[in-house]
Amino acid sequence: MAAAKKYARVLLKLSGESLCGEGERGVRPEALSSIVAEIKRATDQGVQMGIVVGGGNIWRGEQDRGEAIGRVTADYMGMLATLMNALALQDALEKLGLPTRVQSAVEINKLSEPYIRRRSIRHLEKGRVVIFAGGTGNPYFTTDTAAALRAVEIEAEILLKATKVDGVYTADPKKDKSAKRFDRLTFMDSIQRRLKVMDATALTLCMENRLPVVVFDLGVAGNIARAVAGQKVGTLISTE
């Protein structure tokens, strides 16, 4: 029996890379199916969920643009990649019976709704999962910043950042076996230690709005549902 929800409304941040295998590109059906099953397991508790997804499985602007493509254009291309991932998530979620809407900061009316804050909140209130694509709609901002911004705008109670490790460490645990995991951190510690949890803009936005962040391992079955229920998973980052 699923644990009772602690949070009424959450924002889940997914990386684009979570939709494919290690070192791969595109969308791997098995990975997509696994993720949407975990999302449904969490939403079955009655939580309202918004999702921000990255686009790194399709386009990694910093690595892929080379000298021929400028930073601004590369960032816009990344925004389009997030929309592709959002559409994939939408289809897979609806196959599980979850009503879903995609709202994009980059308007492509044939594929998604434009991002309108009041409309997104209404969707959430009606039990629909809302996937926010297109980042912030502006170059030079990461999808982590987009996640923090959307979470604050929709008045989410917590931001759930899904990763490939079980929390925040003093160093990369895959490279440094002596790295130690934090159970709790303050936003200021994360920024000052340069822990690379999220970029400084995203962390500052969360800190100023007192929005807690949980960093957890997406690969562990049931972790999204546990986080929604307020159970201890990963690392909690907060103002205190």
The CATH number that applies at residue 171 is 3.40.1160.10
Residue 96 inside a domain? The answer is yes
Three-state DSSP state, 130: strand
* Alpha-carbon span 20 to 220, nearest angstrom: 16
Beta carbons of 161 and 213 less than 8 angstroms apart: yes
* Alpha-carbon span 145 to 148, nearest angstrom: 5
Residue 4 inside a domain? The answer is no
Residue 1 inside a domain? The answer is no
Residue 178 inside a domain? The answer is yes
Full-prediction pTM beyond 0.85? Answer: yes
Residue 55 inside a domain? The answer is yes
pLDDT score recorded for residue 3: 59
Q: What's the number of domains the chain is made of?
A: 1
β-strand partners of 186: 238
State the residue range of the domain holding 168.
9-238
pLDDT score recorded for residue 118: 98
Residue 3 inside a domain? The answer is no
pLDDT score recorded for residue 1: 43
Residue 117 inside a domain? The answer is yes
Query: pLDDT tens digits for 208-219?
Result: 999 999 999 999
Q: Report residues of the chain scoring pLDDT below 50.
A: 1
Residue 213 inside a domain? The answer is yes
